[in-house]
Amino acid sequence: MAFTKNTSSVDESLRTELAKKGVLWTSLDFLYNWGRRSSIWPMQFGLACCAFEMIAAACARYDIARFGAELFRASPRQADLMIISGTVTKKMAPQVVRLYNQMPEPKYVLTMGACAISGGPFVDGYNVLRGIERYIPVDVHLPGCPPRPEALLHGLMELQKKIASQEILKAEWYKKGLKREFPIPELGPNGLIPKFNPEVWQPAKKNPRREHYGQTILVGKKLKAPDFELAVTAKPIAPRAAA
């Protein structure tokens, strides 16, 4: 699937200047994007602890409503933005891809936290997907463990910037025959089938993590188990002398 890069060819300062002079085309684009970026409706679903930061961002103190994104829709068919908030387990990944497929165009994905980006601290886990971008395209990556609500607002603003830079003429969701749906992975005997969708994501040629940390998986090769029966029980700590 080929994606045309949808960025506005109009310079920001030039656009404001032209808008002052009443050049309609840029103004319409601007108006259209203003409407879209000021009412991003996220989908209401949380996967792990990052979801609490998302909830906090929706509450009064951080108040995501200031950005027009307070309507968390309980149905993917009414949502524009999917916030992947937390660890995606292999068991949960098919459902996440299915929800993405059910969202209407235009749709955006924001991965929140280290786990949703790459697996994070659980990257070597047997049931942890190493990043949802293996199956669906992601617009904004938001690092942190978990990111604070302010960071989520920052991510939302970055997405708003992206939306503001798009043009109606280049918008892929108005093109004929666009079907931005991805096949849903299946649960296999050792993990997910397939392990990733090469159309969306491919492993890097160079693996800096392996180069830096050595072997990736550091479990399963312990040659010796602790022998509790031989181990000496800890002596009780002697009471301290009175000062």
Partner 1 sequence: MNISVEEVKKEIETHLPNVKLRLVRDSILIENPEDLPQVALFLKESPRFLLDYLSSVTGADYLTFLESVYHLYSMAQKRGPVTLRVRVTKNNAKVPSLVPVYRSAELQEREAYDTFGIIYEGHPDPRRLFMWEEFQGYPLRKDYAQEDTEVLEIADIAWLETRGIEVPVEMKEKAKTLHAAGQRAVAQKPEKPRP
Check residue 221 for interaction with partner 1 (CB under 8 A): yes
Strand partners, 140: 110
Q: What is the closest distance, in whole angstroms, from the C-beta atom of residue 207 to partner 1 in the complex?
A: 8
Q: Do residues 42 and 73 touch, judged by C-beta distance below 8 A?
A: yes
Shortest distance, position 38 Cβ to partner 1, whole Å: 36
Q: Which residues contact 163 (CB under 8 A, 6 or more apart)?
A: 33, 36, 37, 40, 108
Contact pattern for partner 1 over residues 104 through 143, marking x by CB under 8 A = --------------------x-xx--x-------------
Distance CA 90, CA 85 (A): 15
Q: Which residues contact 139 (CB under 8 A, 6 or more apart)?
A: 108, 109, 110, 159, 162
Cα dihedral 56→51→119→108 (10° resolution): -90
Selected binder of partner 1 within 60, 223, 238, 243 (CB under 8 A): 223
189 binds partner 1 (CB under 8 A): yes
Cβ closest to partner 1, residue 41 vs residue 122: 122
Binding site for partner 1 (CB under 8 A): 91, 124, 126-127, 130, 183, 186-191, 193-199, 202-203, 207, 214-225, 228-229, 231, 233
